[in-house]
Amino acid sequence: MEIISGIERRRQWRVEDKLRIVAEAERPGARFADVARRHEVSRSVLWMWRKQVRSGALVAEQVPVFVPVQITSEPPVVSGSSSEASPRSPALCEAGSDREALQIEIVLPDGTALRVPETIGAPALRRLLSALRG
C-alpha cells in the first residue's frame, strides 16, 4: 500500500517512454492491465496513448540526419549537364556582383543543386533539404 502525503502531482511522460510502454502492451501475450500496473499508469491513460499512436498523434520525434559535405573550389559538373545548363536565379545573384560570393551551393548525390544565400537560417535550410529528400 502506498500512502501519499501532500499534494499529488501528475507525472510528465516523455514521448519515448509512452511509445515504449504502448509497444510493450501490444506484444503478443501481453496483458494490458499488467503492463499498466508495472509502469504505474492507469489503464485509461494507456488506452489513450494507444489510441494516439494508432491515429498518428503520438509519434517519435525525427532524429536529425547528417549529410556528408564536400568543399570544392569549383562546382562539380554533373554528367549530361554543364554550368550553362543550370541558370542562376537573378533573385539570388547578379552577374558581376559580390552577391554571388555570398551564396552556398549544395549539390546532392543525385545531381540536384541548391543555391542559397549565406545568411539562410537553419530552420529554412532544414525545410528546403527535407523537401528535396521527400
Residues in the chain: 134
Q: What is the pLDDT of residue 36?
A: 93
**Mean per-residue pLDDT of the chain:** 76
Extract long-range pairs of 60-63: CB within 8 Å, 24+ residues apart. Answer: 60/15, 60/16, 60/19, 61/15
60 in Cβ contact with 15 (< 8 Å)? yes
Closest CA to 103 of 87, 90, 120, 86: 120
The residue assigned the cell 545568411 is 119
| pLDDT tens column, 26-40 | 999 999 999 999 999
Rg (CA), the chain: 26
- Residue 104's SS3 state is strand
Asked if residues 8 and 19 have their Cβ atoms less than 8 Å apart, the reply is: no
Would the pLDDT of 119 be above 70? yes
Domain ranges of the chain: 15-55, 62-134
The SS3 assignment for 56 reads: coil
Can you give the pLDDT at residue 129? 79
pTM score = 0.43
pLDDT of amino acid 78: 58
Q: What is the pLDDT of residues 68-92, one digit of tens each?
A: 777 777 665 655 544 444 444 444 4
Residue 25 pLDDT grade (very low, low, confident, very high; cuts 50, 70, 90): very high
